[in-house]
A and B are shown apart, each in its own frame.
Chain A
Amino acid sequence: MHILVCGGTGCTANASREVIDALNRELESHDLTDFAKVVVTGCFGFCERGPIVKIIPDNTFYTQVKPSDAKEIIEEHIIKGRKVHRLLYVAPDTNESISDSKHMEFYKKQLRIALRNCGFIDPENIDEAIARDGYAALGKCLTEMTPEEVIAEIKKSGLRGRGGAGFPTGVKWEIASKSRVGEQKYVVCNADEGDPGAFMDRSLLEGDPHSILEAMAICGYCIGASKGLIYIRAEYPLAIHRLQVAIKQAEEYGLLGKNILGTGFDFEIELRYGAGAFVCGEETALIHSMEGKRGEPTFKPPFPAQSGYLGKPTNVNNVETYANIPVIINKGADWFASIGTEKSKGTKVFALAGKINNVGLIEVPMGITLREIIYEIGGGIKGGKKFKAVQTGGPSGGCLTEKHLDTPIDYDSLVAAGSMMGSGGMIVMDEDDCMVAIAKFYLGFTVDESCGKCTPCRVGNKRLLEILTKITDGKGTMQDLEDLKNLSAVIKDTALCGLGQTSPNPVLSTINNFWDEYVEHVTEKKCRAGQCKALKKYVIDPDKCKGCTACARACPVGAITGVVKNPHVINQLDCIKCGTCIEKCKFGAISLN
């Protein structure tokens, strides 16, 4: 039997290491180490209920397992074959315990292609990857297919770049393959996942590093490159470790390095570390960073396929894009193209987070609706609150609303709705979230992360943020709203790189969808979500106030006046909204609105 325990970042942060240790101790003390084995896997996706423990072969799915549960799991389930019911997931609608994850709402509508091995294999053991078809596609390409045939297959599959913009992968490879034939070329994997609130690439690399290595080698074969580089965030130590182990094992098995599978094809992979710059997700900036320089983007053309790393032809794809490649080769382009919508094939991995019941990592077929994701997979809004918006595409994307919930999602429909696919962050917001503050949050991020090379991004985004701050501080004017619109349009039109060109999207999409909220902030100085501190008002209810003077004595700025034993009043012009009065009032007479 196998006891799979999630070793992804979310579960690790929730003490899954300790669970693993406890399980191993129990196995040892019962002398069961030959009978059952604890396997540390990558992310199962259901981070909300982590740490996850899964028993194979019966597919029992335990949630929120604590180290103290280890004894019972071993003694009951492993030895006696009796499920530990209290650790099973309970469906919130029916109140029934569900043992097999495939019957859970969270998993029902998911289709795991890129994540096929995450949660199934020990990512530090190449044999487990191979047992699940790992490197079979590479073998097939090298021995049965020409590079042109592989590229044709990828083109036919309709796979588009999963980093966000959705450029057809096969076409990209074809351009790189025809560029400067015979010269040194490079295959680069963009693992600089910097989108706040997204952890797809990280989970993939932690859970299934071999499929990325395999795909990169296939790409190298297609474009004529013998070197691969993975540009990965230094903040991802576990993913880095797993990649290092995987590269070493693949080299030992002759699946990377010289003369792979005896075919004469050489391919080696090195790691390059990011150092905390979101803009390095842009491919030209990424290349400069790999060259040891400031991560400043440059104008395209020349495209990396023409002149990339060290001036050589370079193909850059993101982690999830590569993860799809081996499956396409193994199962065929037609199979892959049968999934999804007309122009967006296959699946997409999303990091579902925010005000939603089932936070986690999900993979869904293109064409699914936001409603299905949020209400079925996600289990609806937390605390029974009202859905307000869902943000996709991170700082480059936008906020979608109720009216978009039934749009089948793909690259083009999201753009049409004023957002974008992005790398896969999906943040759900409820009625307590202020959309002006959300726009300000994203702009704050872009301002921090702008490289500063071009004027519209360096100065323009700073000015956008300043205008938004003015509005959330209650000092905005209707002219400011006009300025926001014009400035956003100009930044989109004139910024040098993708980061700058998309940076106004969170502003524009919230203006389009929540115009009333902006106007309220400006004309009524009101924040309906109660998020904008400067717009909050402390008021004393004259009916409840006993005139005890406790608040007036505590107020640091003397903003509260009144006569003893008579209702007091807060002078709004003097109030600094520190909240001291509300703490001091014994009669609940002071409230915030």
Chain B
Amino acid sequence: MDTIKLTIDNRAVEVPKGTTVLKAAEQMGIKIPTLCNFELDGLALKNHPGGCRVCVVEIAGRRNLAPACITECMPDMVVKTNSFRALNARRTVLELMLSDHPNDCLQCPKSGKCELQALAADMGIREIPFKGKQSQYPIELSPSIVRDANKCIMCRRCESVCHEYQSVGAIGAVERGFPAVVSTAFGKHLIDTNCVFCGQCVAVCPTGALAEVDNTGKILRDIANPEVKTCVQVAPAVRVALGEEFGMPAGSIVTGKIAAALKAIGFDYVFDTDWSADLTIMEEGTEAVGRFKKFLAGDKDVKIPIMTSCCPAWVNFYEKFYPELREYPSTAKSPQGMFGATAKTYFADKIGVPREKLICVSVMPCVAKKYECEREELGVNGDPDVNYSITTRELARLIKICNIDFASLPEAEFDSPLGTSTGAAVIFGATGGVMEAALRTAYEVLTGKTLPRIDFEEVRGLEGIREATIPIPGVIDLKVAVAYGLKNARGIMEQIKAGNCPYHFVEVMACPGGCIDGAGQPYHHGDASIIKARHAAIYEADRRMPLRKSHENPEIQAIYKEFYGEPCSEKSHHLLHTHYFDKRMKFDLEK
């Protein structure tokens, strides 16, 4: 490999050709501040517009300062990252940015997590010398996301994610000059755009311009209300990430502490979405097996590939962009939805409470789940199956609000009957997990034999699209694909449209690496090693489980016996399956 020798802050360094000054400096332990620059290494997410200019450095012989993030190292370059000229410019640029930024850090949802705030603190900004016009945009509330364009610093990370990574394009730069800002077309509310509420814009936004809708206040009020009972469910990916909010290393598995914390907060019943993930496998797996059988029998009308439908942003995506293909995804509700539907029927009956008096809350790594809660079809007469959803970050706040010392909290168990789960459920939290869980069950259902090996390594990993052929002896060589990122999913939808999709079974998750980097998870600030640690922890949690196949979950077996009958029964169709809508924008032509 070609290498380049240069000098940074009086020290010699040798780097591969093509390395940026920023990365070269990083190797030497020199941390040049950045804001717009963003990259999730190995997860196909990047943004390098070179627009914020806080990373400027002085390069000998150059007329002006250079942005370290996009300036490539050149032979014999002499770089000063901390010359007075560079430091003065960097501070001035930051002051300029702050001169058009609301000074409301104390109330800001990103306070303490804001990269702009952190930089201002590091640089010791004590006053902003520039006074002048400040942007005045209305603050917009959607079911999932709060958008405060006044805090936008035009880093364009959200735009890159929304356009390049998700291929949605709901937000992007509008106007020019001082009024330039990232916004929706015509300043519309997100709900009136093609936004799928994946929330990755929130996950990458360095400031408080994009944040999740906060439901912690509602929870505290409901818990305090003697008229209602409260139950809570916790999604798989939450347990490998929440610890980060309390200073624990990324990838810490804190399942037991979460159960204990939720009990300490005062929920009447603390359950597990992993339980309903196992239920999802029974329903979706059975639906898939049914479709494969029809397909093998030569049925031309059967929709193959079957696609997963757990990810709410993905559901929004195909309703808005590919409504004509909406019969391909499984009709199975998401684990959150199955949990809610069961809690408000079977469980409410069991404890003798009318459904309206049972408040069902979910803790999700996701912001799109908030939108899912509001879907009319996922409720009865206006009473939602899941009343509302909070993110991993909101749970961390709730724990802090309730004076709980999470780190020293003794572990507890989830309650029964909706609390027992298998390893197949916990891997729902990573890309490929739903596929693997489904394969573990489908294989045994289709062949009637025990799996020779339980780990389907071929569908694991962090590449954006992974494909594999899984031989199911005597039945089919099952061609499967696992994709994350809606741009990748779009590619598969286009194949289906063109009639050349080679797969039988497809899993789609909107977020990088699946739910482990859901938009409701603790902020990673571009550190991909955090996602990788969560990824490893998910599979570690699977290994630790005594049972690792959904159909072996005793509570699942019990609820079929007691309530649903069998997978895809009439009752389960009624409660555990849903239907999709054509939500594509249409023209109403007037004659």
Contact = CB atoms under 8 A, between A and B. Distances in A.
Interface stretch (A322-330, A338-346, A484-492): A484-492
Given A455-B52, A456-B96, A450 B177 contact: yes
B99 A463 contact: yes
Contacts of B89: 490, 493-494
A301 B129 CA distance: 34
B67 A299 contact: yes
B179 interface: yes
Nearest to B91: A490
B265 interface: no
Contact of B178 (A298, A452, A453, A487): A452
Given A453-B154, A463-B99, A501-B64, A490 B88 contact: yes
Interface in B308-324: none
B254 to A, nearest CB: 40
A496 B178 contact: no
B173 A455 contact: no
A483 B129 contact: yes
Interface in A336-374: none
A452 B177 contact: yes
B56 A463 contact: no
Interface in B22-77: 49-54, 56, 64-65, 67, 70-72
B191 interface: no
B180 A458 contact: yes
A493 B177 contact: no
Given A453-B51, A456-B93, A501-B64, A466 B178 contact: no
A459 B51 contact: no
Contact of A452 (B56, B85, B93, B175): B175
Interface string B531-558: 0000000000000000000000000000
Interface in B492-517: none
Interface in B166-180: 173, 175-180
A455 B97 contact: yes
B93 A451 contact: no
B132 interface: yes
Most buried by B among A277, A448, A494, A496: A494
A449 B64 contact: no
Given A462-B132, A483-B129, A486-B92, A495 B177 contact: no
Contact of A490 (B71, B93, B97, B178): B93
Contacts of A277: 176
A447 interface: yes
A463 B96 contact: yes
Contact of A455 (B64, B70, B96): B96
A494 to B, nearest CB: 5
A494 B93 contact: yes
Contact of B92 (A301, A453, A454, A487): A487
B212 interface: no
A448 B177 contact: yes
A492 B64 contact: yes
Interface string A268-294: 000000000100000000000000001
Nearest to A466: B132
Most buried by A among B85, B96, B129, B131: B96
A394 interface: no
A165 to B, nearest CB: 11
B158 to A, nearest CB: 15
Interface residues of A, number: 32
B137 interface: no
A493 B97 contact: no
Contact of B180 (A298, A453, A483, A486): A453
Interface in A428-475: 447-456, 458-460, 462-463, 466
B394 interface: no
A454 B133 contact: no
Nearest to A462: B178
A462 B131 CA distance: 10
Given A490-B88, A492-B64, A456 B53 contact: yes
Contacts of A495: 53, 64
Contacts of B64: 492-495, 501
Most buried by B among A277, A294, A466, A490: A490
B100 interface: yes
Contacts of B177: 447-452, 458, 462
A395 B176 CA distance: 17
A426 B363 CA distance: 66
Contacts of A447: 177-178
B132 to A, nearest CB: 4
Given A455-B154, A462-B132, A501-B64, A450 B178 contact: yes
Contact of B132 (A456, A463, A493, A496): A463
A294 B175 CA distance: 9
A458 B50 contact: no
B176 A450 contact: yes
Contacts of A460: 92-93, 96
Given A299-B67, A494-B65, A294 B173 contact: yes
Contacts of B6: none
A454 B100 contact: no
Contacts of B563: none
A429 to B, nearest CB: 26
A455 B50 contact: no
Nearest to A446: B177
A507 to B, nearest CB: 15
Contact of A494 (B56, B132, B153): B56
A452 B180 contact: yes
Contacts of B72: 301
A490 B176 contact: no
Contacts of A466: 131-133
B476 to A, nearest CB: 42
Sort A-B residue pairs by CB-CB distance and give the 8 closest, nearest first.
Answer: A452-B180, A450-B177, A459-B96, A466-B132, A490-B92, A299-B50, A462-B178, A463-B130
Interface of A: 277, 294, 296, 298-299, 301, 447-456, 458-460, 462-463, 466, 483, 486-487, 490, 492-496, 501
Given A452-B180, A456-B93, A463-B130, 16 more contacts: A277-B176, A299-B50, A301-B72, A447-B177, A447-B178, A450-B176, A453-B49, A453-B51, A456-B96, A458-B178, A466-B133, A483-B130, A487-B92, A490-B93, A494-B92, A495-B64
5 contacts: A452-B177, A453-B180, A456-B93, A459-B100, A493-B89
